Structure 1
Amino acid sequence: MNRIKKIFKLVHLALWTLFGLLIVLQLNSDEHLQWRAVTAGTLLTCMYVFYSHFYLLKYSAKRKKRDYFLLLAGIIVTGPIPFVIFHPSGFASAGAFQDYYLMTLVTAVPVFTFLSWLARVTENLVLNTVLKEQLEKQAVQTELSYLKSQIDPHFLFNTLNNIHTLVYKQAATAPEAVLRLASLMRYMIYESNAPTVPLFREITYLQDYISLQQLRYRKHPIVDLEIKGETASIAIAPLLFIHFLENAYKHSPSDLAPGAIQLQVEVRENTLIFRIRNPIGRNAGALQESGGIGLPNIKKRLQLLYPHSHTLETDENDGHYTVLLKIKDLHIQPHERKDHLLHY
């Protein structure tokens, strides 16, 4: 907002400088002998009328209309005085004073009264538009933060339940599960606070989650993960895919065959394609349990983050549920890979 106000000040300065130069050029072309005094008087009159009315309009909303019109009348009546004072012939006679006063009152005063009103309306319009955009952006960021804050408890609740089961059974994999969870939390707490993250970090986050879930199974990996394209150069909003993967586990049969859940992440130029397919279990009558926040949450985030550049399709067929998400027009950004503590 301050930057916009500074721009307006520079515009005022530039226009008044240009206006003064035009007056000087006009008077010099007419070979006016007193061009300095006339230029000073003209500029002072015009600036007095302009800025008196300009700032009167700024505070007129807090005043009664009667006060505004009384002050405006005072500005109009006193407007020509600087020009008459500086004009060499302004006080030569009563007739000359009257002529110059009336001439200025009829010409310069109305014009710059109108220009000051136009400038105030323009400035208010621009400032209000910028303020509205800032408020809308702030509202979107607030809503995104709220939606994002819902992810952590929802995810942690399910994960801690799994770890509790391992600890209760005194399973040898329990310590590893704790380290896996620590790695996930590190990403969620520190890295996911950024507006965007490298796609490969989001994929690594999914891989950590898959490894944590795999501790529940003694079979071969039940998730078939396929990655295509250059994932290091694409940046996306964090924590977009975790609910799709979590729902795939939650709503699949308890006895999963190796590779039963098929997960594909593909990058084609500046388009990201995310696809996940899982068998439907008995408890998958609805993808979202009562009071759940996963799928509605991610849909809302996608609408806020990528309103015109994403498509989300779901399909239930042949005993399988498929989610297909496409995000196009992603910016290609260079990211430096970093080593992360507790990352496996």
Structure 2
Amino acid sequence: MQKVKRIFWLIHVIVWVLFTFLVSLQLYTDDHNYWVPFTIGFILTALLVFYTHFFLLTKYLGKNQKRAYFLRLAAIASIGPLPFLILHPKRPDSWNLILGYYPMVLLTLVPIFLFLSWLARVTENLVLNTIKKEQLEKQAVETELHYLKSQINPHFLFNTLNNIHTLVYKQAPAAPQAVMQLASLMRYMIYESNAPTVPLAREMDYLQDYMSLQQLRYKKSPVVDLTVEGETESCHIAPLLFIHLLENAYKHGPARLEPGDLKVQIEISEDILTFRVQNPVRQNPVSALEEPGGIGLPNVRKRLALLYPGQHSLEIHHAGDTFAVVLKIHGLHTQVHERKAQLLHH
């Protein structure tokens, strides 16, 4: 905001310098004998009228104090011609000067710069209010995104700690690796996910840490069949975008998952990223609040609407005992630069 105000004042300085140059050049070209005092008097009158009214509007514009405003406006109009009269080559006490030039300046020069100062004040207020509104909207969006990112099921953390405690108690060889994976997962959630975008490869590392910690609940081979197609290093996405989809697959699958029951596929083709997750649905009935999809899908929908408006599709398929979600994000290779520019603009 302060930067914008400095830009406005720089524009003021440049405009007044150019205006002074043009007025003096015109008087000098007309071979006016007193072009210097006339120029100084003209510019000082313009500056006096313009800025006294400009700052008067700063105080009263938009407020219900019309009487105070118009009284001060009349005073500005009355004293506005004085610099021009004082610097006039004729004696300031000359009646011809007072009766001739004073009404002329009062009726021509003063109204023009009163209007210009009003136009400048209104324009500046409009720009500043627009920027302020955009900043507030951006802040609201960032607050909502922060809240949505923080909604990862806390039970996962507690269950993981209990599993690690059991491994440590039994002195299992997998305990140190599990601690490192949990530390990596928490580090990513707390620190790295604050960036607007992250490399897709780093997001995948996070998902794999999550899957490895979930695997502690199972004694069998990996329950997740993960496949990746395409170049992940050159692709950037918003962080923590897939975790709710993967979490739902664990949450709403059978209590005892078999190897390969959860199928996760990530595909990058040209500028389209496709994320698919499929899981078997538990056989016992669940309540409406815990039906496949849960709170994770609404969370993902809100984040996608905020982060990728008009550049994504989210399809949900529930057929028989299988539940699948397909997320597609378009224009990712250009999206990185566009989103950075948009954030800088706001």
Secondary structure in 2 matching 1:150:
coil
Q: Distance in 2 between matches of 1:264 and 1:65?
A: 67
Q: Distance in 2 between matches of 1:204 and 1:147?
A: 21
The amino acid of 1:182's aligned partner reads A
Q: Distance in 2 between matches of 1:16 and 1:283?
A: 79
- In structure 1, runs of 5+ residues without a counterpart are 335-344
Q: Distance in 1 between matches of 2:289 and 2:206?
A: 22
Secondary structure in 1 matching 2:313:
strand
The amino acid of 2:2's aligned partner reads N
The amino acid of 1:312's aligned partner reads L
Alignment of 1:170-181 (within 5 A): 173-174=174-175, 176-181=177-182
* Structure 1 pair 294–90 and aligned structure 2 pair: CA distance change class (3 A): farther
Per-residue deviation, 1:118: 0.8
Q: Deviations over 1:27-77 (max 9, x none)?
A: 122110111110101100011001000000111156732111111000001
Structure 2 counterpart of 1:19: 19
Q: Distance in 2 between matches of 1:130 and 1:198?
A: 31
Which moved further from structure 2: 278-287 or 49-58? 278-287
Whether the aligned pair in 1 keeps the contact of 2:85 and 2:97 (CA below 8 Å) is: no
Whether the aligned pair in 2 keeps the contact of 1:89 and 1:96 (CA below 8 Å) is: yes
Q: Distance in 2 between matches of 1:181 and 1:93?
A: 91
Q: Distance in 2 between matches of 1:112 and 1:27?
A: 20
Does 2:273 match 1:258? Answer: no
Q: Distance in 2 between matches of 1:7 and 1:192?
A: 34
Secondary structure in 1 matching 2:239:
coil
Per-residue deviation, 1:279: 1.3
Secondary structure in 2 matching 1:273:
strand
* Structure 1 pair 108–136 and aligned structure 2 pair: CA distance change class (3 A): same
Structure 2 counterpart of 1:337: none
The amino acid of 1:208's aligned partner reads D
Q: Distance in 1 between matches of 2:161 and 2:202?
A: 23
The amino acid of 1:82's aligned partner reads P
Structure 1 counterpart of 2:33: 33
Q: Distance in 2 between matches of 1:322 and 1:152?
A: 20
Identical-pair percentage: 61
Q: Distance in 2 between matches of 1:154 and 1:308?
A: 34
Structure 1 counterpart of 2:6: 6
Whether the aligned pair in 2 keeps the contact of 1:251 and 1:283 (CA below 8 Å) is: no
Structure 1 counterpart of 2:297: 295
Whether the aligned pair in 2 keeps the contact of 1:288 and 1:295 (CA below 8 Å) is: no
Q: Distance in 1 between matches of 2:288 and 2:183?
A: 28
Structure 2 counterpart of 1:330: 332
Whether the aligned pair in 2 keeps the contact of 1:24 and 1:35 (CA below 8 Å) is: yes
Which moved further from structure 2: 297-306 or 226-235? 297-306
Secondary structure in 2 matching 1:240:
coil
Q: Distance in 1 between matches of 2:315 and 2:285?
A: 18
Q: What is the TM-score with the length of structure 1 in the denominator?
A: 0.88
Secondary structure in 2 matching 1:322:
strand
Q: Distance in 2 between matches of 1:287 and 1:270?
A: 37
- In structure 2, runs of 5+ residues without a counterpart are 338-346
Q: Deviations over 1:81-126 (max 9, x none)?
A: 1111112136373022221111101111001101111111100000
Secondary structure in 2 matching 1:192:
helix
Whether the aligned pair in 2 keeps the contact of 1:247 and 1:287 (CA below 8 Å) is: no
Structure 1 counterpart of 2:57: 57
* Structure 1 pair 170–251 and aligned structure 2 pair: CA distance change class (3 A): farther
Secondary structure in 2 matching 1:253:
coil
RMSD: 2.6
* Structure 1 pair 310–158 and aligned structure 2 pair: CA distance change class (3 A): farther
Q: Distance in 1 between matches of 2:128 and 2:286?
A: 52
Secondary structure in 1 matching 2:266:
strand
> Moved runs in structure 1, 4+ residues, more than 3 A?
157-179, 254-257, 283-288, 331-334
Q: Distance in 1 between matches of 2:111 and 2:11?
A: 22
Whether the aligned pair in 1 keeps the contact of 2:163 and 2:216 (CA below 8 Å) is: no
Structure 2 counterpart of 1:338: none
Secondary structure in 1 matching 2:194:
coil
Per-residue deviation, 1:156: 1.7
Whether the aligned pair in 1 keeps the contact of 2:279 and 2:324 (CA below 8 Å) is: yes
Q: What is the TM-score with the length of structure 2 in the denominator?
A: 0.87
- How many aligned residue pairs are there? 334
Structure 2 counterpart of 1:342: none
